[in-house]
Structure 1
Amino acid sequence: MAQVNNFLGQKCIQENNLRKELLHDYCNASHCRCGDNASAVQEIGKSISPQQQSERRSPFMTGHQQTLAGETIGILAGWGRFPIAVAEAVKRRGGRVAILSIRDHADSQLESIADAHGSVGVAELGRVIAFFKMHKAIRITMAGKVHKTRLFEKGAWLRHLPDWTGLRTFWPHFVSRSRDNRDDSLLGAIASTFSAGGIAVCPATDFAPELLAEEGVLVGDWPNKAQRLDATFGWRLAKELGRLDIGQTVVVKNRAPLAIEAIEGTDECIRRAGRLCASGEFTVVKVAKPQQDLRFDMPTVGVGTLESIRAAGGSLLVIEAGRTIFVDRDRVTNFARRSGITIASFFDNQGELSIQSLCASVA
């Protein structure tokens, strides 16, 4: 026991020293005079709001014990494990799930989990509204990725032929071209159509708050100085990329951008970085958009993300605390540990990686 306590004590000292070193780097870079003394760190910690301090301790504890008491929650399910995780969370809280799987995307396992199940084309919005109303699901969430690249394939719209409601919704985007086809534009239009039909689109974290990533180094060692510089640099780029509603992910090494995400998605962005940087050891930064609508398109990390990083040779994944969905947390962290990949989660501070959030606990 004494050996364990000694090890933990040394670990805490090491982490605090690294936090102080990070503050020192930040102060030098910003020409601040506070250095790395403890009182300066405490002053920086005071600048964080009580709400952010509460979120930092556990961003998902608010509502964590919420029960749904037999309410039916609708899930419009895209690709990946995220819809499954949300459905399981709803059922743990005593709710029922009515799931509509998007054709060519959703996992077949959803059918066995659902209390009511159907499938739908991505543009059949009238059918979506009718299905959820039939099953008395007034609150729904959109979980899982829609591969926009598949929608650009030949004949894709024949498989996802819009109904009249979908046609009215998408007409300005694909026919008259009076509106653009960025994610925020399309998803906002869909949510407005659902709302007009009496269906409220809610954030998935309303039903599964435990999926949010907390702050800290979740797996691996604290990032070294070069990685911290890359993380800070990549964070700024990723936030700007998100502000333009292009993507959420940036890959950097030695403060040089290797790849940025667009329509291809996070995994292909990471793989492209691996092809361009054969030496590996790069940093992947994935964050929420500054204008992020929490109802949809939240940054999501799963085992597939880590598989792409390992295959491409990356060493550090940086995500945004409180605004990133962590799917299959145990599997992700175990995979990262076995692969030697560090996962670090930080809060945002007006478009910057929050140095304060790292340093506030140092005394």
Structure 2
Amino acid sequence: MTRLALIAGQDRLPATLAHALGGRDWTCHHPEGFAPKGIASSPFRVEQLGSFIAGLKADGVEEVCFAGRIGRPTLDPSLVDAATMPLLPRMMQALQAGDDAALRTVIAFFEQAGLCVVAAHDLMPALLDVPVEGTPNDRACADIARAAAVHRALSPLDVGQGCVVAGGLVLAVEAMPGTDWMLESLTRFDGPSGGVLFKGAKAGQDRRIDMATIGPHTVTAAAVAGLSGIAVIAGDVLVLDAEAMRERLAATGLFLTVWSE
């Protein structure tokens, strides 16, 4: 079986994947300053990305999986090594682009070195199993349809993967700070009661990297924000700890439904 390297982000996805890999030959690495939770991982500096990729190849790695949200690092030009220097112009350009465009550039670096980039849900298909719970009422269904339209209109702009709609009003749109920040921001003002968190991939997004992710914490944050439920696009969202999420949905009374365009 091919040797795999996980490039880990800061959420629970890398640790979840590690349990699913069993006895497979794999290693875990993370950009310095963005260590993952619940899993041992070795750091690398983005300024030495060229050397890091060459090292993976030398260690017999053939497949790479990006797992979890990775923050944008600040590059120190003085630390760029010779193997990374040819990549630097594209790296600098990528850091000024939207998330999806930047991540496509990163994927290209690994693929051009002969490494195959695989999706987290290719390694663990159960991540796409959404624990549907409850039934949205007519008002919630209208909010879901409105949120889907907003998401569809914004996604080509490479802005974010989610939004919140209540009573037909757009309360928030996800941007770089992420879903947790968006939901927490809703607690700071008096908006309409209820509402729906909507999540899905952006138009043309490469689903091998930076897939939208939900889990028990998402349910708690949505409940604290006063929402009625969560809707996700089928096949676009990874689910962490589905059983715990189902229990949290039952405890909070929120619904979780799948939206098909």
* Structure of larger gyration radius: 1
Structure 1 gap ranges (5+): 1-69, 112-116, 350-363
Match of 1:185 among 101, 109, 113: 101
Alignment of 1:140-159 (within 5 A): 140-148=64-72, 151=73, 156-158=74-76
Distance 1:302 1:134 in 2: 36
Cα RMSD of the aligned pairs, angstroms, is: 2.4
Aligned residues: 261
Query: 2:187 — aligned with what?
Result: 274
Higher relative helix content: 1
Distance 1:171 1:211 in 2: 35
Distance 1:310 1:167 in 2: 47
Query: 1:80 — aligned with what?
Result: 11
Query: 1:206 — aligned with what?
Result: 122
Aligned residue type for 2:160 = G
Distance 1:167 1:306 in 2: 44
Distance 1:239 1:118 in 2: 38
C-alpha deviation, 1:256, in angstroms: 0.9
C-alpha deviation, 1:182, in angstroms: 0.9
TM-score (norm 1): 0.66
Query: 2:251 — aligned with what?
Result: 338
Measured at CA, do residues 131 and 311 of structure 1 come closer, stay the same or move farther in structure 2, by a change above 3 Å?
farther
C-alpha deviation, 1:137, in angstroms: 1.8
Q: Is the 8 A contact 1:288 1:299 kept in 2?
A: yes
The alignment partner of 1:252 has SS state of strand
Distance 1:305 1:170 in 2: 36
C-alpha deviation, 1:162, in angstroms: 4.4
Measured at CA, do residues 162 and 236 of structure 1 come closer, stay the same or move farther in structure 2, by a change above 3 Å?
farther
C-alpha deviation, 1:292, in angstroms: 1.8
Query: 2:59 — aligned with what?
Result: 135
Q: Is the 8 A contact 2:50 2:87 kept in 1?
A: no
Query: 2:226 — aligned with what?
Result: 313
C-alpha deviation, 1:309, in angstroms: 1.2
C-alpha deviation, 1:179, in angstroms: 8.5
Aligned residue type for 2:36 = D
Query: 2:168 — aligned with what?
Result: 255
Deviations 1:246-279 (A, max 9, x none): 1011111111100101111111111223323455
C-alpha deviation, 1:160, in angstroms: 11
Q: Is the 8 A contact 1:205 1:211 kept in 2?
A: yes
Query: 2:2 — aligned with what?
Result: 71
C-alpha deviation, 1:108, in angstroms: 5.0
Match of 1:105 among 34, 57, 65: 34
Deviations 1:203-255 (A, max 9, x none): 111111110134xx712x21000000000110111122222111011111111
| Counterpart check, 1:231 vs 2:144 | yes
Percent same amino acid at aligned positions?
Answer: 25
Measured at CA, do residues 166 and 238 of structure 1 come closer, stay the same or move farther in structure 2, by a change above 3 Å?
farther
Query: 2:21 — aligned with what?
Result: 90
Distance 1:224 1:159 in 2: 54
C-alpha deviation, 1:142, in angstroms: 0.4
Q: Is the 8 A contact 1:98 1:132 kept in 2?
A: no
Distance 2:64 2:162 in 1: 27
Q: Runs ≥4 in structure 1, deviation > 6 angstroms?
A: none
Aligned residue type for 1:230 = D
| Counterpart check, 1:218 vs 2:132 | yes
Q: Is the 8 A contact 2:90 2:105 kept in 1?
A: no
Deviations 1:337-360 (A, max 9, x none): 21222111122x3xxxxxxxxxxx
TM-score (norm 2): 0.90
C-alpha deviation, 1:289, in angstroms: 1.2
The alignment partner of 1:110 has SS state of coil
Higher relative strand content: 2
C-alpha deviation, 1:280, in angstroms: 3.9
C-alpha deviation, 1:310, in angstroms: 2.1
Q: Is the 8 A contact 1:316 1:341 kept in 2?
A: yes
